[in-house]
Amino acid sequence: MKKFVLILMTALAGVCLSSCSGSFKDIKLTSCELVSLSPRGLSAFDAVLNLSIDNPAPQVTLSEMSAVIKMNQVPCLHLTAEDITISPRTELIYSVTFHGTMDENFNPFTLLSLVKQPDLAAMTIDVGFRGTLKSGLGKYFEYKDIPVKDLIGQI
């Protein structure tokens, strides 16, 4: 289960960072490491990831980050992340906390089957976040039905 959550968190981080690349073409997620995974009841968890980010662009703050991971177009996990400010012209490791909850209509045993054989072909992710420059100018970005298997290969 820990490996599966790492894959999903990496996908969310990758989508947020690569989506920002429309304005900041050179921002790259260079590595991702799951630091901790803490369950919160039966259907929620907190995860801390260390993300190594290479940013040759100006400072940008990502806020209001949220994602919905779907399996066969059925929502299974809802994710949010704390705000992150990416320093300009540096390559640093950022510790980001993610909060996840399982959709109330989703069968949790389906997720357990992915631990044995991770078939990510049926999984997509919807992502939304606000990217804000140091000057205060910002924009809300939203991306729908991004294949998770394509994101994992890019990171």
CA neighbor of 143 nearest in space, from 15, 35, 50: 15
Provide the residue count of the chain: 155
- State the pLDDT at residue 149: 75
Residues 93-152: pLDDT tens digits?
999 999 999 998 887 777 666 666 666 788 898 999 898 888 888 889 898 998 887 765
Q: Name residue 137's beta-bridge partners.
A: none
What DSSP designation does 75 have? E
The CATH-assigned architecture of domain 2-154 is Sandwich (2.60)
Name the 3-class secondary structure at 138: strand
pLDDT bucket at 21, cuts 50 / 70 / 90: very low
Q: β-strands 44-55, 138-147: how paired?
A: unpaired
